[in-house]
Structures are given as C-alpha cells and as structure tokens.
A and B are shown apart, each in its own frame.
Chain A
C-alpha cells in the first residue's frame, strides 16, 4: 500500500468560494480507514467548514499524533502542510509551530487514546496555555489500529466487542477542557454534520484554545450493543443544547431579540456565532454552569452536545507572551542578533 491521490478533475459546475477554491481543493488523499468510520465524516466536515469559511488551504497547518484519527489529516486539506507527529504529543508540536508563526491557522486532530491516555499531559497543558488552535478529538472509546482495546474515554460498564466490561471511570475531555480554562469547548457527533460543520467553523474563528470532542463510532471495534460510543447509542442519547450559525463580519447581522431563544456571541474578528437554544436555560457563556450541566446529564447517561462554552474575549498564548506581531519565523538576523558592538559591551561587563 502506498497512497492513492484523488483524481484532480474539476467539474465546471463546482461552486467556488470567495478565495476561488472549490470543495475539492480542500480534500486530501483517499482515506484508508474502514468503510463507515466516523472519522471520515469528520474529515468531510473539516473540508466543508474550511471551504465555507473561505480559508486559503495553505494558511492552515494540520497536525496530529498517532492512531486512526491521527491518520486523517492526510485525507483533507491536501494543499496544507501536515505533520503526523508522535503518539500523544501533537499538542506540544502544535504549540511550537504556533509560536513560530502566529499568522497561520492551527488544526490539531487527535484521538481518545492519543489525547486521553498517553498524551493527556500535553492535552492538559496546551488547554491551560490558551494556544490559538482548533483541537478535535475523534472519540470512539477504543484503540482501533491495535484492534479494540478500551481507551480512557470508554464509559464504566460499557462492553468491548468481545464482551468484556470496562471497569475504569471514563475521562471526559470536555469537562477536563472546561476545568483547564479552554475558551471554546464543544461536543458533537460524527453522524450529525449539520451540527458539526458550524462548530468547526466557530472553533476556527475563535481566538484561543478551541476544543471539540466528536463522538465518532468505530465500526470495526466499538459499534455493538453494550457500547456507549456506537451510532445507535449516541443517536438515542444525544442531547443537543443548541444549534449555531456563523455569520461573517461582512454580512449584515440582523438584530434579534435576546428573549427569542437566540444568543449572539461576537468573535474577535467581527464575526458572530448565533446560537439557537434547544435547551432553554443553557447559556454557554457560563463556564461553571456548563460544567454542572454536563455532569448532571452524564450521570443520566446522556451525551450533551453543541457549543458548551465560549469566551469570545479570551486572550491567547501569544498575547500572554507579549510576542511581536511579525511571526517569529520571519525575523531576520538584523532583527534578532544584537551585533558585534553590543557584544563588546557584554564582554566589558564580564571583567
């Protein structure tokens, strides 16, 4: 097996976005994942979101760890630089890349083994720092490439394909991200593209650490009765708190009444996330309420989805570090090297 490039035939009727690209321009290689894998739906949602957002593909850097989910960056955004790093360590590589060039968009793709087990430390600290990124965990509760071991997000009491019951408590990455200070936290389901695409768009518009936990069933090892990450289970227990639209800054924003079930959240670039409430009392601008709500619903076996928390005024890591506006990788010798005369002064001070 080497690789299969998709044919580059462009049907003339394919719609071009404002920067002149069709959806096809945001695709990558043909996926080598199992037919029906939730991850492929997420790749498709990323393609759709980037096309709709008029992002130039080369302005995105996509990074991943190791695992089925981490293979997917090869299957979307073929015109973007990608980096398949080390198991569980994508967050640090993404952080370094982001420090080097603050002008690109950073998309991290990981899995539940990658982020909730081996890489949980890096997940935690990237969220704490407020790295400006969209971090998607394609969460299926199982190790796919090594054939079906439980991951740390598997629910207590859920059963493996072989019928073994998981006795460990699950790691809920959404609750963890909230506790750690992530400024955008969402959960979605790979089978609900209508919900997922706007969430990815909103995350990419957000400045700061944006985390989306996407339940993405593993058709090979975790889609049976007794699993809480199967298509059937998630469909039955999905409790969406809101639906959202992204309204770009250039569009006229219609004024809505605050009491008609809509919350508008203005982003740093002027765009607006318009949330249509499905859960009447849920306000995703309240971190503590979000944590409380999720915990209560989890206890009832429900999977809360939607935009769970957003802080549109968040500062990112570069703001904390007071980094210069010019990307660090574009500074030349003259900008960085103090020079020979300054060194003479340093020498003089050391005698």
Chain B
C-alpha cells in the first residue's frame, strides 16, 4: 500500500443506534467541503439498535464515486465484528481502535495499528452515560481529523450548522471534537500515509441521496397525491415528499396543496394512486420489490384502463428481512411485465440523485402523456446513500404536460369523444376527467372488456383493436422516454458495454482502467424501457457486447433480447448480485477475463 493523497477508503464499523451515523456523515461532508470528492455508503442491518452497521467512505480526487472495494483505514468501533473488520484491511493499511481495552493478541502484522482510548477519555470528561456514548463518536472524529489532515475549521463549521439554533448541543460537540483532535496531536504519529489535502475538485455539485431527490422531483413534477406503505429502502421517498411539500405547498392559511396517505398496504397505495390518476390528479407511490408484487393486479388494470400512475421502486435484495437492506437491480422483469394478461410498463433508470430528481418529474409527465403506469427504478445504493452529483435543474419555462385531456370547452364545442379511439395514430387516445361536462364525455372505465367508445364488449375484434393500439402506444413511448447516452472510446472499437442505473460510476471507472490497459470500450447507458431503437443499433454495431447488471438472472438482457429479437449470443452478461454495490474492480475484471477467454478460444 503506497502513500496517497485524497485517494483512499475508510470504513467505520459501528453498532446500530449508537449515534455514529451523524458523526460519520459529518466526516464525509468535511472532506467534500475541502474540495475533495467522496462517496459514502451505509451498510446497515434490518435493525434499530444493537446489530453491526458500517459506513464506508471512498475519498477520490479523481472523482470516482463507485464503491472501490477494500479498506485502507478501518475505524473498528464494534467488538462484535472486530475480527472480520480487521481482515478486510488492505495490507499496509491502518486499524484505528478504542485502546481503552488492550488489543486482542494476534492482530495482523501487515497493518499499522492506531489506538485511541476513546471510552476512557469519555468517562473522564463526561458524567452522563448517553453523552459518553454520543460524544465518543465526535472524539474519534477529532482524532481522525488530526491523523488525516482534515481542517478543524471545516468540521467545527459543520458542527455549528448541524446544531444550528441549539447552542447547548453545538458547544459540547465542538469541545469533544477539539478534545479528540488535541489528544491525537499529542499522542499519535501523524499524518498518516493517507491524507486529505484541500483541492478544487467538487465544483458546484450537490450531495444528497436519491430518495430525497425523487421526493423533491415529485414536488416539482406536480404530484398532489402520494399514497404509500412503509418499506425499506423506499420509505424516505415519501418522507422527503412530505418534507418538501410542507416547505413549498402550504398556503398562508395553512391549507395544503397535497394529500399524503399512509395506506394500509401496497395494494391500497396503488389503488389510491390509480383512483387519483383516473380523476385527473398527479399521483405516485413509493415502494420496493415486495410492494410491487402486491401491486401487480392493479398495475394490469391501470395498463388496460389507461390510467396514469407513477411508481418509485427503490430496489433491494429479495424477500424477507436482511438482504432487503442491501442493494440490487433485481426488479427489472417484475416491473416491466408486472401483472396478468399482456402487459408492458415503462421503466426509467436514473444513475444518481440528479437524475432521480429529473426523472421523477419526467415520470409524472410521461404517465400523463402515455396514460399508463411509469416506474422510476432506483436502488438502495443511489436511494439511501448520499451521492455527489450535478445540481438539480429546472427550466423556469417548464409546465406540467397533462397529455390528451378534453376539457369542458372542447366537449362543448362538439369534439367527438370516444375514450379509446386512436385519433392521432400514436396509440394514445383522449380522456376526460369525471365531472367535466353535464352531458358529454362521461364513460365507464373497466379493464379489457370494451370497444373503442368504452362500451362493454366481449367481442374478439374489439379486444384486438384495443390491445394492438396499446402496442402502438408502447412504440410511441420509445421516443418520449429519456434516450440512452453513448460515450465513445477514444479510438474505434468493436467492443460495446451497456449498463444502467447505479452501476454508472463504477462503469466509468472500469472503462478508464481498461482504457489505460489498452482496451477501448464504447459505452451506452440505457435510461429507459421500452428501449429506443438506438439500443439495438448499438448492439448490432459492436462485435462483442457486454451488459452489466446487478442481479443474478441478467434481467435487462432478457428484456433487450426480447425487445429486438436479438441473437442471445451477441450480448454477454456481467452480473454482480451479492448485495454490495458493484465495483470498478469487478466490472473491469469480468470484462478482462471474458475477452481473454475469447482470445484463447480464437487462438485455439
């Protein structure tokens, strides 16, 4: 392990509920304020108090925001996981521990050990047991700031901001920080091989989690009804929506321009969204995989009855508790084809909080324009971790696009109305909101059994006309969804890589790494389903195509091959699904190995 400035990984191993989260977050933010990019990740259990939890911070002057893998400095505060945590440290790295108790014998000799008697210092300086526990976190923050060269002023400013208006809390925290820093200065060898040095690599970027960004996007996108049911890791979407609504949508007289319902389950959540959408309000729900499973019957109805609905799905590991606090992209198929009958749904794949914001607003527009459910597919990695990203943008001229709706004036003027007539040839019919006109525009909404004028019909030709129009509508969607983004290699190459969502930062880093090794890759980031034809063109234009996903079954690959009737041999899956975010090391390794194998096959 060689010395490095502004480029290392530090991991905090804590006990859930010990108050470490805010100190750790402050640590990450302090480095950002010094102009150095960081990407932190929470690795947490399904638990409120007592179980192990980790906070991993990657410091990267180059701006790599994906998980790197490996740990250079372990802050081992949890006796339960101590041994495993120590094993994770890269050779030549550091172990930082509470030296109030002696180190267990036999700790690795290839790492450097730094002891700071945190508990003893707390017992000495504080009487209140809770204070002892909370300020212990701030003490190690002080110690680490000294060891790594983090500026004291920056941390103290952040502490003051955090306890703004609560001076009785701010001062003890600042004092504890100074105490830790002074102790480290007097007693520990510093600086370490890894140091933070002020730089200017952050720019105007913002630091926020994707769930909060999506919640804010729903406010900007004009959602007025939010019905949801608590489920990790999506709960903070609804909570953020509520927070921003209280900030932006309450009249002077206290009246609210929004309605949020914590429903009895996910079935009721989507039912309310469908009811609100049918009645002309923009509505969304936030959920995760199991919630989508419960919603599927309604999703089929919404597809066939053509009702706008936005579903924020923050993906996670599968059923039960435990893995659900880990990340995956494993709901691609269950969302794309959710429900009974011939159904297909629109999916959007944001890469970070910036796009989570924008795509949330776009999803509400798309749902109205296409009169259909639209999924915003986050995952735990971007949903629940703060991520450095471009600032949110909103065009001041932008208005909400409500799609094809006939109002009272249009109906009064005698515009002919048939709810499911394809007047414009794009598969999208005109709709009316209930209560619009006394004698025109009313219709009866049901699933499949109807003719183009929404009259009850069990006739085969009427059914066919309808489902074929729905297929045309899905074709139309291709041009309305966010288009894929291509990044060409610096020289022509026959190798292309497709990827989507939270894989983005690791993918970029892997491509850089492989480019440095002489391997040129064209990249295409898929941002939505249905796939625009440019995705097929990209696949056909490359001899060797990789598709990087964070699930076991190459779900997006299945969709892709199905969408364009591609030869499955054309697309090689690179799959990562152990619940941790995918790394550049993994992607680069997988692509390198696969290409080497191909070369061997060719040579043989």
| Residues on the A chain within 8 Å of B455, using CB | 2-3
A132 within 8 A of B: no
Q: Which residues of chain A come closer than 8 Å to B256, judged between CB atoms?
A: 321-324
Contacts of B391 in A (CB 8 A): 347, 350
Among A56, A61, A99, chain B packs the most CB atoms within 10 A around the CB of: A99
Residue A12 CB within 8 A of the other chain: no
In contact, A121 and B456 (Cβ under 8 angstroms): no
Interface string of B426-464 (1 = CB under 8 A from A): 000000111111110011111100010001111100000
Comparing B121-129, B392-400, B555-563, B565-573, the segment that makes contact with chain A is B392-400
CA distance A342 to B216 in the complex (A): 12
Q: Shortest beta-carbon distance, A343 to chain B, in Å?
A: 5
CB atoms of B264 and A329 under 8 A apart = no
Contacts of A80 on B, CB cut-off 8 Å?
A: 434, 442
How many Å from the CB of B149 to the closest CB on chain A?
A: 21
Report chain B residues within 8 Å CB of A81. Answer: 432-435, 442-445
Say which residue of B278, B281, B432 sits within 8 Å of A93 (CB atoms).
B278
Question: Does A35 make an interface contact (CB < 8 A)?
Answer: no
Chain B residues with CB below 8 A from A335, complex form? 257
Residue of B nearest to A3 (CB): B456
- Taking CB atoms, residues of chain B closer than 8 Å to A342 are 248
C-alpha gap A104/B434 in the complex (Å): 8
B565 nearest CB across to chain A (Å):
33
Kindly list chain A residues whose C-beta atoms are within 8 Å of the C-beta of B259: 99, 318, 321, 323, 328
Contacts of B257 in A (CB 8 A): 323-324, 328, 331, 335-336
**Cα distance A219–B437 when bound, in Å?**
38
Other-chain contact of A340, B244, B297, B395, B459 (Cβ < 8 Å): B395
Nearest-CB distance from A321 to chain B (Å)? 5
- Which of A83-91, A164-172, A177-185, A246-254 lies on the face that meets chain B? A83-91
- Interface residue tally for chain A (C-beta within 8 Å): 65
Whether B281 lies near A328 (C-beta < 8 A) is yes
Q: Does B239 contact A (CB under 8 A)?
A: no
Among residues of B, the one whose C-beta sits closest to the C-beta of A350 is: B206
Interface residues of B in 300-323 (CB under 8 A from A): 301, 305
Any A CB within 8 A of the CB of B424: no
Q: Is A325 a contact of B255 with CB atoms below 8 Å?
A: yes
In the complex, the answer to whether B224 meets A328 with C-beta atoms within 8 Å is yes
Which residues of A, 45-97, contact B by the 8 Å Cβ criterion? 56-59, 61, 63, 73-74, 78-86, 89, 91-97
**Structural contact, A97 and B434, CB atoms closer than 8 A:** yes
| A336 partner residues in chain B, CB cutoff 8 A | 219, 222, 224, 249, 257, 400
User: CB-CB contacts of B268-305 with A at 8 A, as 1s and 0s?
Assistant: 11111111111111010000000000000110010001
Say whether A96 contacts B255, CB under 8 Å: no
Q: Which of A56, A95, A328, A335 has the most CB of B within 10 A?
A: A328
A335 to B220, CA, bound (A): 11
A100 in contact with B445 given A2-B458, A321-B256 (CB within 8 Å): no
Q: Does B227 lie within 8 Å of A96, measured CB to CB?
A: yes
**Does A337 reach chain B (CB closer than 8 Å)?**
yes
Given contacts A29-B456, A336-B249, contact A329 B280 (CB under 8 A): yes
Instruction: Using CB atoms, name the residue of chain B closest to A329.
Output: B280
For A122, list chain B residues within 8 Å (CB).
264, 267-268, 271
Give the chain B neighbours of A232 by CB distance below 8 A. none
Q: List 6 A-B contacts (CB under 8 A).
A: A81-B444, A92-B271, A94-B275, A101-B434, A328-B276, A347-B391
| Given A59-B435, A336-B249, 7 other A-B residues pairs in contact with their CB atoms under 8 A | A57-B442, A79-B439, A91-B271, A100-B277, A101-B435, A322-B254, A340-B396
